[in-house]
Amino acid sequence: MIEVRPGGRRRIDRVLADGYARDLDRLPMPTLRTRRDEAAQEETDLSYLRRLLHARIDIVRAEQQRRTTGEATSVVEQLSTILADNALGPATGSGRHQPLEPSRAGEYRRKAEALIGDADLSDVTALSDDTLAGALETYREQERSVSQRRREVQLVVDAFNAEIARRYARGTASVDELLASERGDADDHGFGEEQPPATGSARSGPAQEGDASR
């Protein structure tokens, strides 16, 4: 389960903290962008972990189906299709375009593998029925937890995008603030322990920020 720790140092702890997306109308534009980009990176990372779990769920289910139906096709022969269905590039699910790359890909791969210590999916045909059933339940439980946190983070991203779009629509976003943000001169108002993601600049600019569907 993915727990959010009040006062924690992890990015997800900051993004889902009570005060992170509060009183957005009072925050300067550079701070809005910095926090929006940080939340967007967390969404991307959670989406990546979710797809890793989906791939493992599909592998286990494919082996269970093979045993039930007596199919001659092995799971190994289906791996290319399974992995293609759970492509590990930028996510486009739920109607949200994510141009960012996962920032902790290796960490999440290890996390997914560590969920089932004795279930080696590299030789799924050698696992017992009970081990497969246990692995499937564990992966599903983790996927539900990741999906819930991902939805919570998406709401934070959407809130920042909506406020940024509102300011541009009303003409209250100034050119000076935009230039200051591009130079990285933002003051993060208490949430600045971690620098904004390096890929965040790809999200800058009024045209992209006006799209609250990210």
- At 71 the pLDDT is 79
- At 97 the pLDDT is 59
- At 126 the pLDDT is 86
- At 102 the pLDDT is 72
Angle at 49 between CA 47 and CA 52, to 5 degrees: 110
Q: What are the domain boundaries of the chain? A: 11-209
Q: What is the pLDDT along the chain (214 residues), one digit of tens a residue?
A: 788 999 999 999 999 999 999 999 999 999 999 999 999 999 999 998 898 889 889 889 988 998 898 877 777 666 666 666 655 544 444 456 566 777 766 676 666 666 555 556 767 888 899 999 999 999 999 999 999 999 999 999 999 999 999 998 888 766 555 566 556 544 444 444 444 444 343 343 333 444 443 4
DSSP letter, residue 118: T
For CA atoms 59, 113, 132, 118, give the dihedral sign.
positive
pTM beyond 0.75, yes or no = no
- At 196 the pLDDT is 41
- At 120 the pLDDT is 63
- At 22 the pLDDT is 95
**65-98 core/surface letters (b: 16 or more CB in 10 A; e: else):** ebeeeeeeeebeebbeebeeebebeebeeeebeb
